[in-house]
Each structure stands twice: as C-alpha cells, then as structure tokens.
Structure 1
C-alpha cells in the first residue's frame, strides 16, 4: 500500500470509531436523563369530570391612576388557580394517609374523590379546594408525597368574566322591573300571559347567574389542587442494563448510517461514471462530424 493511502485509510477508520463512540455515549447519557413515562397510564381523569362548582379567589390591590392627579384605583381581581399533581408510590396506603392528613392540616376540603383498582394497581383521585393563603404550602407538601410523575400550576384571570356576569344580571333586573311595571297597567289576557312567561324566563336566567356569581363570593374563595396517587413499584434500571440498551441502539443506528453512506457513495460513483461516459460519447460524435 502507498503511504498516502494508508494515512487516508487510518483516518477513515478513526472517523468511523469516533462516530460509534459518540453514538454510544449519546444514548447512554440519554438513558439517565430520560425517566420512564408513567403519566400515560394515569388517564386524564380531571379533564373528564365536570364539577358543578368552580373555585375562584380574589386579590385586592391598588394601582396609580393614569390621570395627573395623585390618586389610586382599587382593583379587585378575580382569578382561578389550579395545581395538578400526579405521583406514584409503592406504599399506597401510607401515602394516602399522609395526603389526607396534609389536606386537613391546611384547612382544605376534598370536593371530589374517586378511588379505584385492586391492590397493587390502586389509584386515588382527589379534587381539593384550599384557601388561597394555604395554596402554596399545600402544593409543596403534596409534591413531597411519593415519586412525582408530573406537576403544574395554572392561573387564569376571571375578572372580565365576573364583570360580564354582573352586567348581565343588572340588565336582566332592569328588564324584569320594567315588565313588572308594565304588567301592573293591565291589558288583554293574552298580553298579560306573555308578560308572565317573559318574567318567568328572566327569573330563571337570574337564578342561573346567581349560582355562577355565587362561586365568586369572598366567603367561598378557594383555589384548586388536583391530586392523583397511583400505586406501583418504582422502576430501577441497572448500569449494565443501560449499557446493553445503549450498545444495541448504537449498533443498529451505526449500521443504518454506514448503509446509507455506502448507498450514497455508490450512487455518486455510478453517477460520475455515467457523466464520464456521456462526455466520451459526445467527443466521439463531435469527431465524426
């Protein structure tokens, strides 16, 4: 072999070895960073239930007025705050007792509860109403139970919705009062009955608005914690198992890459040969002419 060819061959081997090592290291590290996904086994339970009552809270604060005067505006913000916690534990009964004790400790209420499954595969779903001042502490305590699979906090402003409900209520009350006043003036029986029916419809709408506005009352202020506890053993993967999985993945990926490179090289070589043949053919034709 020529020295130049030997150097190129050694360089190619080194590149191939470096590629294999890089793929193996990448897959091995990824195995440690990627934890088993158990959240898929926990059905999106809280999205399927519909609670007859929603939990809202309020926050009162003052902001400076945009006008030139040295005055402040009092703002009463209404908001909905929901925490979602999904956890897993092999000591289901102990963790359930701890969760219930923690809920009582922070003056929270279990507003919805579902417990299902046989031993070894049990699941507990709780919808908890907690006073706004205790929300953060309860959330922190519940996230220390079991092996957390997923957690998140969502906060939505509901001030405009609250104002719209109040405006709609005031508008309906004005219409009702006008209809009652109109009814007192007398008239035909048919007109009287139509007025009665219309007043009854408005009364029903006002009752529905009253229920919705009741959720915003200061005395009923709560934030929501959706807590899901799943029974199951913690999966521990040994180092040798990770090495085996990483090696198998690397070999498959490496052979795939080499195969693709060989096909690309072969295609390129055939293409270049075809181009050369075409050029030679052109030259022969031009000479004959």
Structure 2
C-alpha cells in the first residue's frame, strides 16, 4: 500500500513539473517579449488637424521629361525628327515606425539636406512615446530613386508605394483652354471699340472681366506645370513605437509555475471527481447486481 502511494505521489510530482516545463517552453518560444499596445498614428479629430492632414495630401509637384523621337532616315542624317515634352506627377509614399524617434528624425533631415530636397510640408504630433512626423518634400527627378532608397532605411519600413501619373493631356487641355479664352477676349475687345449703347458696353466689360478672372485662375494652374522647379514628391510618415522589452527568465518561470499550479489543481479536482463518480457508479452497479441475484435465488428456492 505504501509503495503504491509513493509511486502515485512521484507520478503526480513528475506530471506537475512536466506541465511547468511545457508552459515555460511555450513562453520562451511564442511570447519572448512584453506585448506593447500599437500606437495610433491617426490625427486628432479637430478642425485644424484635419486641415493639416488634408494639406499633406494636397502637396503636388509636376516634373518634365523630354522625349526625342528619331526616324530611321533621320538617324543616318543625325537629325531629331520630333521632340515630345511629357508632364507627369510622381509620388513616393513611405511609412515607417521607430523605437529611436530622435535619431531617425535626424537621419531623415540629413537625407533631405544631402540631396537638396525642398521641404514643402511638415507636421509633428503626439507626446514622447507616441510621436508622429509627416513630411512632404520636393525631389529632383534624377535624385528621386536615391532619396527613396535612403529613406526606406530609416526606422522600420511598414509600407512603400510609388505612383506615377501622366499629366501631359491635362497640360495640353489647359493650354488650349487659355488660347480659347484669349481669343474670346480679343474678340470682345474688338466689339467694345466699335461702340454701342451703355448697356451693351457694360455687358461687354463684365464679360471681359469674367474672362480675365478665368485666365488668371487658368494661369495659376498652368503655372503648376510651367514653374521652373522640376520636382517629384515624397511623402514620408514615421510613427514612434515604445521599445519592446524582453521578459526576464525568472519572471517567465514564475508565470509558468503559477499557470501549472492553477491548471494542475484543476486537473486533479476533475480527476478526483471523475474517480468518485466512477466509484459511485461501480457501487451502484454492484448493489443492483447483488439485489438481482438475490431475487433470482429466492425465485429458484420457491
């Protein structure tokens, strides 16, 4: 009896430490670090913040690419047949996270200074531990790839995208619209010089003023294409994450023991209850069986 009890206790102790070891292994493999809460990189819902965020999205630059088309006969003569001026918008989107926000911000500004980029928009939000920096820069087309490659090394890259949009057709449409408006204005000026009643003169003058306003607005739009600054755009967002700390081995061991004690006791309680239930069922079965046998014996005796 004592030998069986001793073996049972040894088996229970071994089972407990096996559970501790399994739990500790799980913690070390699958949960080696303290879990940190993800940082919310969205901007506050105030009107000013919304305005700034929209401004970040509206930053745009137009670049120019000159394409020379040469025919087979012109190649022999060394002459260019046709030159096409392409207008396009190229935007690079880079998102990153950082556990060393100050250092990475300095690295970002060094890249901007190194390539003589034009800082067109900047927004800093958040407190230490959850800061977010959004910056939009203008980059010369021939330096675009180099700047993007260096910025991708800052912090931990989470998303990257480059989009290119052809704007040549839009540019030509604006030019054609300007020519049309200028032609209409000259025609109205010619009518005004012919004279007429006051009402007609006033109507002509008002229409000329409307055309001047449209030409002014159109000139601003065309200016976006014709401006001397030939840039592509990079929109860079970096958000700060708290550094993840490794859980000490002793802490993991304590967690493993706590978990094993709780679930091992639960297992023992279930085992004891199951044993009691089995014992009760067995006793009930034996009692019923004995009662049936007695009944059969009495029947035979009678």
TM-score tier (shorter):
0.5 to 0.7
Instruction: Give the alignment partner of residue 54 of structure 1, picking from 34, 51, 60.
Output: 60
- Rounded to whole Å, the distance in 1 between the matches of 2:142 and 2:56 is 25
Mark the CA change 1:236 to 1:76 in structure 2 (over 3 Å): closer, same or farther: farther
Alignment of 1:1-289 (within 5 A): 41-43=40-42, 48-49=54-55, 54-64=60-70, 70=74, 72-217=81-226, 219-233=228-242
- Rounded to whole Å, the distance in 2 between the matches of 1:120 and 1:53 is 28
Mark the CA change 1:96 to 1:80 in structure 2 (over 3 Å): closer, same or farther: same
SS, match of residue 172 in structure 2: helix
- Rounded to whole Å, the distance in 1 between the matches of 2:68 and 2:238 is 41
Residue 93 of structure 2 contacts residue 236 of structure 2 at CA under 8 Å; is this kept in 1?
yes
Residues 236-277 of structure 1, C-alpha deviations (whole Å, 9 max, x = no match): 899xx9xxxxxxxxxxxxxxxxxxxxxxxxxxxxxxxxxxxx
- Rounded to whole Å, the distance in 1 between the matches of 2:163 and 2:201 is 50
Gaps of 5+ in 1: 1-35, 242-289
Residues 76-107 of structure 1, C-alpha deviations (whole Å, 9 max, x = no match): 10000000000111111111111111101111
Gaps of 5+ in 2: 1-35, 44-49, 75-79, 253-302
Residue 53 of structure 1 contacts residue 215 of structure 1 at CA under 8 Å; is this kept in 2?
no
Moved over 4 A (4+): 44-47, 50-53, 68-71, 234-238
Mark the CA change 1:216 to 1:236 in structure 2 (over 3 Å): closer, same or farther: farther
Residue 125 of structure 2 contacts residue 132 of structure 2 at CA under 8 Å; is this kept in 1?
yes
Mark the CA change 1:170 to 1:52 in structure 2 (over 3 Å): closer, same or farther: farther
- Rounded to whole Å, the distance in 2 between the matches of 1:189 and 1:113 is 54
The structure with more radius of gyration: 2
Mark the CA change 1:203 to 1:99 in structure 2 (over 3 Å): closer, same or farther: same
TM-score normalised by length of structure 1 = 0.63
TM-score normalised by length of structure 2 = 0.61
Residue 162 of structure 1 contacts residue 216 of structure 1 at CA under 8 Å; is this kept in 2?
yes
- Rounded to whole Å, the distance in 1 between the matches of 2:138 and 2:180 is 32
- Rounded to whole Å, the distance in 1 between the matches of 2:101 and 2:200 is 66
Residue 127 of structure 1 contacts residue 226 of structure 1 at CA under 8 Å; is this kept in 2?
yes
- RMSD of aligned Cα (Å): 3.0
SS, match of residue 220 in structure 1: coil
SS, match of residue 150 in structure 2: helix
- Rounded to whole Å, the distance in 2 between the matches of 1:152 and 1:47 is 19
What number of residue pairs does the alignment pair up? 204
Residue 129 of structure 1 contacts residue 223 of structure 1 at CA under 8 Å; is this kept in 2?
yes
- Rounded to whole Å, the distance in 2 between the matches of 1:51 and 1:196 is 39
- Rounded to whole Å, the distance in 2 between the matches of 1:112 and 1:182 is 48
